[in-house]
Structure 1
Amino acid sequence: MSAQLLRADSWFPLGSLGQYAYPRDPDGDVINTYVMGTTTTGDEVRVGLTPASAGISRVEFEVQLPKILEDPDLLGDIVAEWETNHRPHELVSVTVYENHSPLSGGALAAQPYDVAVLTWEKE
């Protein structure tokens, strides 16, 4: 119970149940959002969407994604927080991906695939 009150997703299965809050179409896609960044050295790194890593959880990020798509500069705050928590890494760009898992009758029907929905570059 306290894990849910603290929205502690890392305490799964005792944590926040936000990921289960919406019904899924048994013949639709399950979509999981993730963010990849490119560092100043050219390395590609996963930008963990957790409050401790980037100041925002994946569920909260997905809820805010329409606003972020309208104003990609909103990613700047997330990048700044991630950089603070992952020194000495500095990101020059981030790409937001959606991983789609197609379902048929509630079961995986095809190989999951990724779609890049937004790329943001630091000025």
Structure 2
Amino acid sequence: MTLQTAPDVQAEPEVVRLGAAGRRARLAAAAVVLALLLAGSVWGDDSEFPFGPFRMYSTRADPDTPVVSTRVVGVTAAEEEVRLSGGEVGLRRAEFEGQLPRLVDDPSLLGLLAESYESRHPGGPELVRVEVVQRHIELADGEPTGAYTDDVLVSYDLDGAP
């Protein structure tokens, strides 16, 4: 049996060291980023993310403050509520809640939700009005008390008169 020699293996490439100017530039960039993170953590808010903290993760709500739950309902001629939120009209809750200021400014947009509901549920009850209702659920030490109030944030009659 004949032993073969290993093929010529090239030595590892030479390591190129960072020069003094490169090290200073990287240290300066790191110092700027750290300063921004520190300033954002102390004085920042959601709009400064990623240098400011998200308040929903960095703060705590008062355990006795009411919780607000928003829902959209269609109202029939018999004053029965038909749920229009929760994907019934093709919008997710977060998408809808992000549009609340527009709906308050222009209640006729609620008519589009009614149209979407009717196209998805052709045999469903006929709606005469669409409402955005906010339920304020009372808490005591972070637990629901069972007491709540419902406020109609915006309403739109489907015959066109808000």
State how 1:40-119 maps to structure 2 within 5 Å: 41-42=77-78, 44-51=80-87, 53-88=88-123, 89-109=125-145, 111-119=147-155
The CA deviation string for residues 56-99 of structure 1, in whole angstroms up to 9 with x for no partner, is 12232222112111111111211111111121333221122111
Q: Which amino acid aligns with 1:27?
A: D
Q: RMSD over aligned Cα, in angstroms?
A: 2.3
Contact 1:33-1:97 at 8 Å conserved across structures: yes
Number of aligned residue pairs? 101
The answer as to whether partners of 2:73 and 2:81 remain within 8 angstroms in 1 is yes
Percent identity reads 33
Q: Which has the larger radius of gyration?
A: 2
Q: Is the 8 A contact 2:74 2:84 kept in 1?
A: no
TM-score by length of 1: 0.68
Q: Which has a greater percent of strand?
A: 1
Residue 27 of structure 1 is matched in structure 2 by 64
Q: 1:46 to 1:24 in 2, by over 3 A?
A: farther
Q: Which residue of 1 aligns with 2:28?
A: none
Flag structure 1 segments of 5+ consecutive residues without an equivalent.
1-20
Counterpart contact for 2:73–2:85, Cα < 8 Å = no
- Give the structure, 1 or 2, with the largest relative contact order (CA under 8 Å, sep 6 or more): 1
Q: Which amino acid aligns with 1:118?
A: V
